[in-house]
């Protein structure tokens, strides 16, 4: 099966600062969209929360998926609920909620707008092992992209008869996925260390 594949390396990311620490924009879609103007349809980013208490920016009409990739924090959604998150645990919420965080952590963010949605999946590959990751598209949704972000470690995979090696903090974006119901990827960890990956699945309903 042929895919459109793009490997994005750490040096290609866009660093930004926010009140709680440093953030890194991994990718926005469409390509010419801008986070500041809120004209993106979906966006991936990582952020480091360096202060013990912070308040998120208000993002009306934005749906958020939020996964801790290092550390531990508590999310406090005002008048809704509180949720404590350890590494690779996640929460889903709406961007116009009043949300505070308590604790220091590094986090992965998926933001979607309009009729775009997404899921976050954590994969762990032991040293010298491989993992078969399969995603089955739901019948009422159009699969847009699957993105693999390496939190730590490395992995290799072969797509379109070409091998890709994704190092720590690298992002492998795979799209043109609509022609098949099921998609399977073989991810190989040839190293002597554990590889942790956050998979972002983007779809349209």
Given the structure tokens 């986070």, which residue do they identify? 35
Strand-pairing partners, residue 133, are 185
Task: Please give the residue range of the domain that contains residue 146.
Answer: 116-204
Based on the fold, state whether residues 100 and 162 are members of the same structural domain. Answer: no
pTM across the whole model: 0.94
CATH number at 39 reads 2.60.120.10
Based on the fold, state whether residues 136 and 164 are members of the same structural domain. Answer: yes
Side-chain-facing half-sphere of 67: CA atoms under 13 Å = 21
Burial of 157 (0-12, 13-18, 19+ CB in 10 A): buried
For the stretch 26-81, pLDDT in tens is: 999 998 888 778 889 999 999 999 889 989 888 999 999 999 999 999 999 999 99
| Cis before 122? omega within 30 | no
Given the structure tokens 């933001």, which residue do they identify? 111
Q: How many helices (H) and strands (E) does the chain have?
A: 0, 19
């Amino acid at each position: 099966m042929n895919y459109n594949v793009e490997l994005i390396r750490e040096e290609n990311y866009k660093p930004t600062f926010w009140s709680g620490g440093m953030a890194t924009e991994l990718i926005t879609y469409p390509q010419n969209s801008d986070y500041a103007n809120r004209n993106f349809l979906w966006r991936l980013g990582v952020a480091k929360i360096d202060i013990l208490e912070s308040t998120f920016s208000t993002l009306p009409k934005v749906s958020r998926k939020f996964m801790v990739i290092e550390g531990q924090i508590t999310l406090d959604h005002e008048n809704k609920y509180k949720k404590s998150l350890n590494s690779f645990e996640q929460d889903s919420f709406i961007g116009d909620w009043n949300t505070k965080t308590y604790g220091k952590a590094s986090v992965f963010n998926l933001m979607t707008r309009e009729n775009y949605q997404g899921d976050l999946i954590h994969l762990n590959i032991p040293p010298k092992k491989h993992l078969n990751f399969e995603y089955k598209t739901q019948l009422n949704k159009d699969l847009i992209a699957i993105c693999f972000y390496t939190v730590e470690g490395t992995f290799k995979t072969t797509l379109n008869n070409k091998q890709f090696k994704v190092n720590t903090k690298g992002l492998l974006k795979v799209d043109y996925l609509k022609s098949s119901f099921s998609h399977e990827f073989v991810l190989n960890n040839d190293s002597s260390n554990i590889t942790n990956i956050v998979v972002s699945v983007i779809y349209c309903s």
